[in-house]
Chains A and B, each alone.
Chain A
Amino acid sequence: MIDQLVHLLGYDFAQNALAAGLVVGIVCGVVSRFVVMRNMAFAVHALSELGFTGSAGAILIGASPVVGLMAGTTITALFIGALGVRVRERDSVVGIAMAFGLGLGVLFLSLYPRYATQAFSILFGSITGVSRGDVVLLVGIGVVTLIALAVMYRPLTFATVDPEVAEARGVPVRQLAIAFLLVMAAAVAEAIQVVGVLLILTLLITPGATAERLTVSPIRATVYSVVIALVAVEGGILLALATNLPVSVYVTSLSFAGYLVARWIVGPLAVGRASRRTVEGAS
């Protein structure tokens, strides 16, 4: 097993996968923090499925599936941003967009019969299949996304946890909501490369939700979330290389195991300490 891993690590495809995984892990770690705090799991799911439609359409016209993926998630993000301003409306708009977009996906799929294997790799991930060109594209999108996140990190946090005061202090709450949807679109397109459309939540919900169980400090939670996403992605790739099972199997297992450990073992201790400190201080 170890011999096989060491042997495979000498190949381009394995190195490409690990390089792409590094960027994907960092992007997803940061983005999942905000996805969890802003309750946007459903929107992630819709972006992901319409990314599938986008890549199916791209393959049909002979374009790059990665570009189609980006186009699909970005158009969906803009649609949700334009119509789903209020939280109450948002889920309906997401559902409406998702239903129609998936219908289109079925159409593209039926127009292109030889699509089945590629469809499988988009639905369940194919990071070990990415080319050098795809890696460059993924790293490029990832770097731009991380710069955008670094610029908006503080006001986005303000707008997320305390929207009324943020608005009063001049934070462009509405524009940030749309900007964050676009960041999500990029993160979803990146994560689909690793775990595929159907398993997207394992990288865009689980790390953020796990980190919340470990600490109440926002900046520390973001760091933990990135570490968890990186361990899941890179660990998943390495285990898959060693055993010939799909990457997504290991990524989902690692992130799920991390959540259970945080929820039942580490988390109660960490948060319990913080609460106890209060009680002692107050008495």
Chain B
Amino acid sequence: MSDPAVRFDSATLEYHGRRIWSDMSLAFEAGSFVAILGPNGSGKTSLLRVILGLAPLRAGDVQVLGHAPRRGDPGIGYVPQHQSLDADLPLRGRDLVQLGVDGHRWGIGWPSAASRRRVDAALQAVAAEPFADAPIGRLSGGEQQRLRIAQALVGDPRLLLCDEPLASLDLRYQQGITDLIGGWQRGGERTVLFVTHDVNPVLELVDQVLFVVNGRWAMGTPDEVLTSERMTALYGSHVDVLRVHGRILVVGESSGSGFEVEEPHHLPTIPDDDRHPNRPTA
């Protein structure tokens, strides 16, 4: 069996003095698609930052692709949270992907035929050629996200980190993006860590789920982790996991209609005598 793509040993992480999680030991197997779930503020993005070498652990150890995390590791591709770009930004999709090839190198970077071929191939792989020469700020969210994926994959990484790549996208765009990432992941010994607050769009792709809540976590297959018992234990308050038309809904005990899928923006620290259930969703 090959080494895991990422392994945490007794890892403790703090963010601005606040403990996110402590003594976490787990491994993401190489070649697997892992969905990282949990409410906002539970440290999902921080986890990616540790893997990227941008944030140190407070204690414990982490190994990424067989070594300590390194900033700018060429083995890692990164798709950040979608944010809208200025409509007048003088940048084409092609330029964004080009920055993924050699943007980190010093010098002016005059365009070369070789790098242009790599950019063209990456654009083609995500079907972005029709809009690759337009100002990127005027493209739709889905089109921008395709270009982000091309930018992340153009360096031919082994590990792809995606931070809420589907947030603020229409359902039809979500499908296209998940198809792209899934197709890439199955093309070799490739690992995807996919941070999301809704597991449903990627349910068919997911091998493992890591659910992080308030310093506690659970990891396993979706069927193992996304159960009423495990979620209730994680949240520390009664939670139902419902399966409706092939979708999984995680619902807190007093969440109105029962189909409320809003996620809590801050996970409150709840005193034992005053439990106020959140309305989590996965």
Contact = CB atoms under 8 A, between A and B. Distances in A.
A88 interface: no
Main secondary structure of the interface of A (DSSP, over half): helix
Contacts of A212: 88, 90
Contacts of A150: 107-108
Contacts of B216: none
B99 A282 contact: no
A74 B160 CA distance: 41
B194 to A, nearest CB: 16
- Contact residue range for chain B? 35 or more
Interface stretch (B26-34, B126-134, B221-229, B230-238): B126-134
Contacts of A275: 134-135, 138
Interface stretch (A12-20, A64-72, A156-164, A184-192): A156-164
Interface in A264-283: 271, 274-275, 277-278, 281-282
A278 B139 contact: yes
B130 A282 contact: yes
A169 B72 contact: yes
Contacts of B92: 216-217, 274
Nearest to A209: B88
B108 A167 contact: no
B131 A151 contact: no
B135 A281 contact: no
Contacts of A169: 72, 78, 100, 103-104
- Contact residue range for chain A? 20 to 34
Nearest to A281: B130
A154 B106 contact: yes
B95 interface: yes
Interface in B111-166: 111, 129-131, 133-135, 138-139, 148, 151-152
Most chain B Cβ neighbours within 10 Å, of A158, A211, A274:
A158
A215 B72 contact: no
Contact of A274 (B106, B135, B148): B135
B134 A161 contact: no
Given A153-B109, A165-B78, A218-B91, A171 B104 contact: yes
A154 B71 CA distance: 18
Contact of B103 (A158, A219, A271, A277): A158
B265 interface: no
Contact of B131 (A170, A215, A219, A278): A278
B215 interface: no
A82 interface: no
A144 interface: no
Given A165-B78, A168-B54, A218 B95 contact: yes
Contacts of B100: 165, 169
A168 B52 contact: yes
Shortest beta-carbon contacts, A-B, top 4 = A170-B72, A281-B130, A158-B103, A278-B134
